[in-house]
Structure 1
Amino acid sequence: MTHPTVRIVLDTSAIIAFGRESIDVGEVLAEVADEDDCVFGLPVLCLAEAARVVTDQDRLTLLVQHRAAEILLPDPDSWQALAVTLDTVGRVDAASAVLAAIDLGCDVLTGQPGLYGGIAGGGPVIAF
């Protein structure tokens, strides 16, 4: 059995935007869901941070339970890379999102592209 390909990683801002019914984020997720054997990644640290802000918890649950969603956990062996990235971006949730994207060879969907400006080339970022 093959593991699905993560096409994009949502950071906290993208998860919050989904919770607020962003058409831009919804379109990206629909495109990923339409691809065979592809998913979008939801870093658990971004979900936890977004849950503090999103008022529609049912919508957040809908996102997490989406057939094309995959919850991403930080790799315990990457704690040093997480620490360095945290020093660069200033937030552990954003650091976990960009590290996941780099490891998976995809981009971070974000409403805050400047957050990743300190990463080489501005990071693997797609702004909405």
Structure 2
Amino acid sequence: MTLPRDVCLVFDTTAITSWVRGSIAVGETLAEIADDNGAVLIPLWCLVEAGHDIGMIDRERLDLLLAHAATFLIVDDGEDWEMLVGMRALTGRHDCAAAALLAVEMNVDVMTRHPDWYQSVRNGQLTLLIED
């Protein structure tokens, strides 16, 4: 994967929903990454789950996140299906599996409200907790 910016973080479903709900912690983190010309990856499965969780009531905020210069929507590569199956077994959720796989591949953290979802990946050292 080639991006015009250095990847700094992956947003999981909870980071996306927190952004939509006006999280200062998520907004400040995204702003700092943007200021450093970095990138935040948004796995498609996390976006799908966030869209389901929030409904499409806050579509405007969601569109702002997706249009942000530092965010990149990532679709799973079909060739990664076996690794995704393994991550799904570790995390218990398909959206978390996609976020964890991206984070491991890019050697970055997943921003989340639920670090316990990633406890079995990298000995639980994969997350950046959202603290609002």
Fold shared, TM-score > 0.5 on shorter chain:
yes
Structure 1 CA distance, aligned partners of 2:87 and 2:77? 14
Q: Which residue of 1 aligns with 2:102?
A: 100
Deviates further, 5-14 or 69-78: 69-78
TM-score (norm 2): 0.91
Alpha-carbon distance in structure 2 between the residues aligned to 1:2 and 1:16: 24
1:44 alignment counterpart: 44
CA distance in 2, matches of 1:73, 1:50: 15
3-state SS, counterpart of residue 63 of structure 2: helix
Q: Shift of the alpha carbon at 1:3?
A: 3.2
Contact 1:98/1:123, CA 8 A, preserved across alignment: no
Q: What is the rounded CA distance, in whole Å, between the counterparts of 2:21 and 2:121 in structure 1?
A: 28
Alignment of 1:1-128 (within 5 A): 3-36=4-37, 38-54=38-54, 55-128=57-130
Aligned counterparts of 1:45 and 1:59: Cα–Cα separation in 2? 18
1:45 maps to a residue whose letter is W
Q: CA deviation at 1:123?
A: 4.1
CA distance in 2, matches of 1:89, 1:2: 27
Runs of 4 or more consecutive aligned structure 1 residues displaced over 2 Å after TM superposition:
none
- Normalised by the size of structure 1, how large is the TM-score? 0.93
Q: CA RMSD in A?
A: 1.4
* Structure 2 CA distance for aligned equivalents of residues 114 and 105 of structure 1: 19
The CA deviation at 1:2 is 6.8
Unpaired runs of at least 5, structure 1: none
